[in-house]
């Protein structure tokens, strides 16, 4: 079984995953004459802050002295170290730290690669470190990821000196502004923040770019149907994490892209590390995956950087500058900078129901907060929850217009990432009375329910929703048919001009369920009907006594 010994991540303070390296050599006082102690934590603060993994050793190293704070590398299965003496071109000593040097946290160790090496006292030594990630390929050329050489240091008998090695990518792909990279597919990460020793590292890919603006947007995009869960991490040439503004630099669901907005210096080079988090379970409750990536599916994604510019509809920050939005027609906006708000105007008719939807513009996630105002700037509807915060895309599923006139949708940033989004406002088809009835099933009256309702003229498909009441409340509603597999008009049984559907034997005898029915017309789903209660037949027991 693969374990955490396949991964090594190092110190960083930003809430992003790893990058270039910081190896502190030695890490503690060593009184043995001519000995250097080497300790490289298997997990550093980069991975910790991005995933919620807790490791005291790595956290303490993230805040070590001599400028190590904020530096990181992605993954390591082994490290090759070469010692050089002054004016000598060939290494005077070479050694490797691999699984034999790993102290597993599962058996009481530090979760680090730990090793000591005897070195004769002297001046002007340097150490070159080359890191390998075996998830990248089958040979050293593909596995070698980052490399660096320390500044000259002295070995003094009876003392121990701090040595910093800043490593940089060996073969970073140069990005052009506004042009996506070629699609990449990496071995995904596995494991959970709950168990440090069982984490399996995935592959990594490095990119570089020369900044063209003071704020740069770096994004990873997933193609349609991709199972990748990309994460990106941006660093300067000193391996210090670039200042990241509020954005989602790691995906959460299969096929969900990510984006970082970073403060940059025009003309300076920056590195971007990219990984596929795969099925790795992060600590944040919002980042629990509701779907598990298909390991056999396509895991490709692309990386792109560009100027973090305002969208084409700016300035639209007030009611007076709101841009008109035609019903049923989508617009692409962005929330940038973080205090940006957007207004769109639309015409609404009294007693008509409307829906305001925000969604992804490019596979990345933006945190949106949607509100509707009237012409007097009075709030008439909101997507804000009872907890007064929103995360991810939000919508107003149903708003009934009180009076004819012009209304305004205000989109601001919720509790989460800024970035691009798509907004659509649609009028909803008025629901008609379906007269839903629920009774015990015919084929299996003890385990199934028979649902019947009045057919709707023009309905293209029907969906059933089932809720299960219990002492603690209600579970559901659960949709009966998968998306794209809804009941077609010709698929239901018509009896006396009624549609009907008998469920599979899902229920226990005497069980009660609440059933709702919705239908689709012209590509739009009508809100589910009022719930109707139904109960399966109880089992009947007959006792016969013969005397």
Predicted local distance difference test score (pLDDT) of residue 398: 85
CA 238-244-250 angle, to 5 degrees, is 105
- Cβ–Cβ contacts within 10 Å for residue 497, how many? 7
Is 317 among the domain residues? no
Predicted local distance difference test score (pLDDT) of residue 492: 57
Tell whether the model's pLDDT for residue 8 goes beyond 60.
Answer: no
For range 114-132, the mean pLDDT: 85
Q: How far apart are CA 410 and CA 65, in angstroms?
A: 47
The last residue of a domain, from among 307, 342, 366: 307
Q: Are 142 and 245 contained in the same domain?
A: no
| Residues 536 and 449 sit within 8 Å (Cβ to Cβ) | yes
Predicted local distance difference test score (pLDDT) of residue 358: 92
Predicted local distance difference test score (pLDDT) of residue 66: 41
The last residue of a domain, from among 395, 427, 459: 427
Give the contacts of 377 (CB within 8 A, at least 6 positions apart).
Answer: 319
Q: How far apart are CA 408 and CA 420, in angstroms?
A: 19
% of the chain at pLDDT higher than 70: 78
Q: How far apart are CA 344 and CA 428, in angstroms?
A: 19
Q: How far apart are CA 52 and CA 446, in angstroms?
A: 47
How confident is residue 288, by pLDDT bands cut at 50, 70 and 90?
low
Tell whether the model's pLDDT for residue 110 goes beyond 80.
Answer: no
For range 366-389, the mean pLDDT: 82
Q: What is the average pLDDT value for the chain, to the nearest integer?
A: 80
Predicted local distance difference test score (pLDDT) of residue 502: 92
Q: Are 185 and 293 contained in the same domain?
A: yes
| Residues 225 and 298 sit within 8 Å (Cβ to Cβ) | yes
Tell whether the model's pLDDT for residue 193 goes beyond 80.
Answer: no
Q: Residue 506 is inside which H or E element, if any? A: none
Give the phi and the psi of residue 351 in degrees, each rounded to 5.
Answer: 65, 10
Which is more confident, 26 or 107?
A: 107
Q: Are 149 and 59 contained in the same domain?
A: yes
Tell whether the model's pLDDT for residue 279 goes beyond 50.
Answer: yes
Q: Are 283 and 251 contained in the same domain?
A: yes
Tell whether the model's pLDDT for residue 381 goes beyond 70.
Answer: yes
Q: Residue 79 is inside which H or E element, if any? A: strand 78-84
How confident is residue 12, by pLDDT bands cut at 50, 70 and 90?
very low
Which is more confident, 241 or 207?
A: 207
Which is more confident, 388 or 323?
A: 323
Is 315 among the domain residues? no
Q: Are 134 and 115 contained in the same domain?
A: yes
Predicted local distance difference test score (pLDDT) of residue 247: 59
**Least confident range of 100-114, 279-293, 378-392:** 100-114
Is 414 among the domain residues? yes
How confident is residue 27, by pLDDT bands cut at 50, 70 and 90?
very low
Q: Are 286 and 352 contained in the same domain?
A: no
Which is more confident, 231 or 319?
A: 319
Predicted local distance difference test score (pLDDT) of residue 83: 92
Is 115 among the domain residues? yes
CATH number at residue 243: 2.60.120.380
Is 369 among the domain residues? yes
Which is more confident, 69 or 43?
A: 43
| Residues 51 and 283 sit within 8 Å (Cβ to Cβ) | yes
Give the contacts of 125 (CB within 8 A, at least 6 positions apart).
Answer: 83, 84, 85, 86, 119, 152, 153, 154, 155
How confident is residue 189, by pLDDT bands cut at 50, 70 and 90?
confident
Q: Report the number of distinct structural domains present in the chain.
A: 4
Q: Please choose, from the candidates 405, 461, 460, 453, the residue with its C-alpha nearest in 3D space to the C-alpha of residue 432.
A: 453
Task: List pLDDT tens digits, range 213-230.
Answer: 988 999 999 988 999 999
Q: Are 159 and 21 contained in the same domain?
A: yes
Torsion angle of the four alpha carbons 474, 475, 476, 478, in this order, in degrees rounded to the nearest 10: -140
Q: Are 163 and 208 contained in the same domain?
A: no
Tell whether the model's pLDDT for residue 63 goes beyond 50.
Answer: no
Tell whether the model's pLDDT for residue 23 goes beyond 50.
Answer: no
Q: How far apart are CA 244 and CA 227, in angstroms?
A: 26
Is 540 among the domain residues? no
Is 316 among the domain residues? no
Q: How far apart are CA 547 and CA 540, in angstroms?
A: 23
Q: Are 188 and 164 contained in the same domain?
A: no
Tokens for 504, please give them. 């599979």
For range 285-289, the mean pLDDT: 54
Q: How far apart are CA 113 and CA 43, in angstroms?
A: 10
Verify cis geometry, omega within 30 degrees of 0, for the bond prior to 427.
no
Give the phi and the psi of residue 235 in degrees, each rounded to 5.
Answer: -135, 155
Verify cis geometry, omega within 30 degrees of 0, for the bond prior to 315.
yes
Give the contacts of 490 (CB within 8 A, at least 6 positions apart).
Answer: none
Q: Are 235 and 123 contained in the same domain?
A: no
What residue spans of 52-178 are helical by DSSP H?
A: 56-62, 140-143
Return the SS3 of 146: strand
Q: Are 409 and 442 contained in the same domain?
A: no
**Least confident range of 41-55, 78-92, 136-150, 429-443:** 41-55
For range 409-421, the mean pLDDT: 85
Q: Please choose, from the candidates 265, 194, 372, 260, the residue with its C-alpha nearest in 3D space to the C-alpha of residue 16.
A: 260
For range 102-131, the mean pLDDT: 75
How confident is residue 4, by pLDDT bands cut at 50, 70 and 90?
very low
How confident is residue 291, by pLDDT bands cut at 50, 70 and 90?
confident
Q: How far apart are CA 390 and CA 368, in angstroms?
A: 7
Beta-bridge mates of residue 29 = none
How confident is residue 284, by pLDDT bands cut at 50, 70 and 90?
low
DSSP string computed for 478-534: EESS-TT-PBPGGGSEEETTEEEEEPPS-S-TT-EEEEEEEEEETTEEPPPPPPEEE
Q: How far apart are CA 526 and CA 434, in angstroms?
A: 12
CA 179-184-186 angle, to 5 degrees, is 150
For range 248-269, the mean pLDDT: 86
Q: How far apart are CA 475 and CA 213, in angstroms?
A: 51
Tokens for 414, please give them. 């919720």
Is 38 among the domain residues? yes
Q: How far apart are CA 293 and CA 300, in angstroms?
A: 12
The last residue of a domain, from among 113, 140, 169: 169
For range 67-81, the mean pLDDT: 66
Task: List pLDDT tens digits, range 491-543.
Answer: 655 555 888 999 999 999 999 999 999 998 877 888 788 999 999 999 876 77
CATH number at residue 92: 2.60.40
% of the chain at pLDDT higher than 90: 34
Predicted local distance difference test score (pLDDT) of residue 299: 94
Predicted local distance difference test score (pLDDT) of residue 365: 82
Q: Quote the domain boundaries for residue 150.
A: 4-169
Return the SS3 of 424: strand
CATH number at residue 512: 2.60.40.10
How confident is residue 267, by pLDDT bands cut at 50, 70 and 90?
very high
CA 367-372-374 angle, to 5 degrees, is 155
Q: Are 238 and 198 contained in the same domain?
A: yes
Which is more confident, 74 or 13?
A: 74
Q: How far apart are CA 439 and CA 527, in angstroms?
A: 22
Task: Tell me how long the chain is.
Answer: 547
For range 473-502, the mean pLDDT: 81
Q: Please choose, from the candidates 79, 87, 96, the residue with its C-alpha nearest in 3D space to the C-alpha of residue 40.
A: 79
- Cβ–Cβ contacts within 10 Å for residue 493, how many? 12
């Amino acid at each position: 079984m693969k374990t955490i010994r396949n991964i090594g991540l190092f110190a960083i303070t930003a809430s992003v995953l790893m990058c270039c390296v910081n190896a502190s050599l030695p890490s503690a006082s060593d009184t043995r004459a001519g000995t250097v102690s080497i300790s490289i934590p298997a997990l550093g603060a980069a991975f910790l802050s991005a995933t919620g993994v807790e490791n005291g050793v790595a956290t303490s190293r993230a805040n070590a002295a001599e400028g190590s704070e904020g530096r990181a590398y992605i993954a390591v299965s082994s490290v090759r170290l070469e010692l050089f003496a002054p004016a000598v071109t060939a290494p005077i000593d070479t050694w490797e730290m691999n699984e034999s040097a790993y102290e597993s946290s599962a058996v009481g160790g530090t979760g680090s690669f730990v090793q000591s090496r005897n070195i004769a006292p002297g001046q002007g030594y340097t150490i070159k470190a080359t890191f390998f990630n075996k998830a990248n390929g089958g040979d050293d050329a593909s596995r070698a990821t980052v490399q660096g050489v320390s500044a000259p240091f002295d070995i003094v008998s009876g003392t121990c000196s701090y040595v910093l090695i800043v490593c940089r990518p060996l073969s970073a792909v140069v990005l052009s502004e506004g042009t996506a990279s070629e699609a990449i597919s990496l071995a995904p990460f596995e494991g959970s923040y709950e168990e440090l020793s069982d984490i399996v590292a995935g592959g990594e890919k490095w990119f570089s770019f020369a900044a063209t603006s003071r704020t740069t947007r770096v994004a990873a995009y997933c193609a349609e149907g991709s199972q990748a869960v990309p994460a990106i991490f941006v660093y300067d040439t000193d391996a210090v994490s670039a200042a990241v503004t509020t954005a989602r630099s790691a995906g959460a669901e299969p096929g969900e892209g990510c984006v970082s907005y970073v403060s940059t210096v025009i003309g300076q080079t920056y590195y971007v590390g990219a990984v596929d988090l795969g099925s790795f379970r992060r600590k944040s409750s919002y980042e629990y995956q509701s779907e598990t990536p298909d390991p056999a599916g396509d895991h490709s994604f692309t990386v792109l950087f560009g100027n973090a510019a305002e969208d084409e509809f700016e300035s639209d920050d007030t009611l007076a500058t709101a841009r008109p939005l035609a019903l049923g027609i989508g617009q692409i906006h962005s929330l940038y900078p973080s205090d940006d708000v957007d207004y769109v105007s639309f015409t609404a008719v009294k007693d008509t129901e409307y829906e305001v939807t925000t969604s992804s513009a490019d596979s990345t996630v933006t945190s949106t907060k949607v509100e509707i105002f009237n012409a007097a700037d009075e709030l008439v509807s909101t997507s804000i929850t009872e907890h007064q915060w929103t995360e991810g895309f939000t919508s107003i599923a149903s708003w009934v217009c009180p009076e004819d006139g012009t209304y305004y949708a205000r989109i601001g940033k919720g509790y989460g990432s800024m970035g691009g989004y798509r907004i659509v406002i649609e009028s909803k088809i008025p629901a008609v009375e379906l007269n839903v009835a629920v009774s015990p099933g015919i084929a299996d009256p003890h385990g199934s329910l028979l649902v019947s309702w009045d057919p709707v003229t023009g309905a293209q498909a029907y969906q059933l929703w089932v809720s299960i009441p219990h002492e603690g409340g209600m579970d559901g509603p659960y949709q009966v048919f998968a998306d794209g597999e809804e009941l077609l008009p010709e698929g239901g049984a018509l009896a006396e001009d009624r549609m009907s559907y008998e469920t599979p034997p899902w229920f226990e005898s005497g069980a009660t369920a609440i059933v709702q029915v919705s239908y689709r017309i012209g590509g739009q789903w009508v809100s589910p009907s009022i719930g109707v209660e139904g109960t399966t037949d109880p089992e009947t027991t007959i006792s016969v006594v013969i005397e």
